[in-house]
Structure 1
Amino acid sequence: MLAVKALTFDVFGTVVDWRGSVAREAAAALGPKGFDLDWNGFALAWRARYQPALARVRSGGRGFVKLDVLHRENLLEVLEDFGVAGLSEAETDDLNRAWHRLDPWPDVLPGMARLGARYPLAALSNGNVALIVNMARRAGIPWDAILGAEVARAYKPMAQAYLSA
């Protein structure tokens, strides 16, 4: 057996609570504007467009773009589906950056501190570098490296996304 040299982690759902965080961010952005939505449903609907958007890139139907671009395109569809209109470009951009403000699960930071004392820790994510860096800085996630889609220019589960790590 080979010695472990580093630990890599998926991020969305494994390290961070995307559903609860996106629901919270949507409520904070849209609630004061008079929208009373099923915030968890909004988060789930937004995330439901994630895999189909990635599939278009993976299949070659679309060139590689950062996840922030796909998230924003998907957000526009979800806003329409939920009857949300009247947001400025700046408000839409800020809501799209909800993915940069995801909270870690309660056991993540103590667990990563223990693991990080022995191994380098790396995010291996479909998230673009700026997204993962912003999330880590805000939440205190101690990544030693950020790898994945933007670095490889390929989305998981394509082999290129893993082999570039």
Structure 2
Amino acid sequence: MTDRPRALLFDVFGTVVDWRGSIAAEIDLMTAARGWGVSGHDFALAWRNLYQPAMARIRDGGRGFVKLDVLHRENLEQVLKDFGIDDMTGAEKAELNRVWHRLDPWPDAVGGLNRLKSRFILATCSNGNISLMVNMARRAGLPWDVILGAEVARAYKPQREAYLNSAAALDLEPGECCMVAAHNDDLAAAQSFGLKTAYVERRSEFDAGGTEPRPATGDWDWIAADFRDLADQLDC
């Protein structure tokens, strides 16, 4: 059996919270009120699809580090243009951008995290910035011990600094930390830098209907159906 880690580092968007459903619901309410005729699901997906390209410029050295709120706001301008939405004020755009601060957790997330917290340090290892993670946690009741990840490391996953600086901030070796994620590529990067890995299946992260499984494709230390299952496997 794999030795247990001392800390669990969590991907957040898609692993802990439902970005797709949360944003779609908010956009659907807005489009009903304003008569936009826009699908909330399509809007959410278009916004998210600009996420990786925006970070890629920073990873590649084409732009200095800026926090994710800035990238989301820039990407929002593009999505609004693409959907032909031109009736929002600057203040309204700023408030919509903060939808990323108020994403809803998956049903098992809060209970499962509290069980895991009984035995492990719980930390974010997300590309989300500190204020975003704090606001999300306070609203949703996510029991993090500490907010780590991109803004602390000044690097976006899957850059090595995002993982190793998070471990170092806890005065832990990489092997004393376990990356928990619903994304195989995130886990592959973490594993390559010496972290333990736990895959959690989130079907609705990849398919709005939750009908398409995304199997674990790596030799991960733990594979779980959800956080409750992970807590069972880790004797919490």
- Residue-by-residue CA offset, 1:1-34 (whole Å, 9 max, x unaligned): 6552111110000000000011112223343122
Deviations 1:56-93 (A, max 9, x none): 11000111000000000000000010011120111000
Say what the alpha-carbon RMSD is for the aligned residues: 1.1
Q: Give a deviation string over 1:114-142, Cα, whole Å, max 9, x none.
A: 10111111110000000000000000011
Q: Bigger relative contact order, structure 1 or 2, given CA contacts below 8 A and separation 6+?
A: 1
Q: Would you say 1:9 and 2:10 are equivalent positions?
A: yes
TM-score (norm 1): 0.96
CA distance in structure 2 between the aligned counterparts of 1:25 and 1:19, rounded to whole angstroms: 10
Tell me, what secondary structure is at the counterpart of 1:123? Answer: strand
Q: Deviations over 1:31-70 (max 9, x none)?
A: 3122121110000000000000010110001110000000
Which ranges of structure 2 fall in alignment gaps of 5 or more residues? Answer: 167-236
Q: Is the Cα–Cα contact under 8 Å of residues 29 and 95 in structure 1 kept in the other structure? A: no
Deviations 1:75-114 (A, max 9, x none): 0000010011120111000000000010000011111111
The ranges of structure 1 where at least 4 consecutive aligned residues each deviate by more than 6 angstroms after the TM superposition are: none
Determine the C-alpha separation between the residues in 2 that align with 1:23 and 1:83: 17
* Sequence identity (%): 62
Count, aligned residues: 165
Deviation of 1:156 (Å): 0.3
1:77 aligns with 2:91: no
User: Distance in 2 between the 1:137 and 1:25 partners?
Assistant: 19
> What is the TM-score of this pair, normalised by structure 2?
0.68
Q: Between Structure 1 and Structure 2, whose CA radius of gyration is higher?
A: 2
Query: 8 Å contact 2:59–2:155 — kept in the other structure?
Result: yes
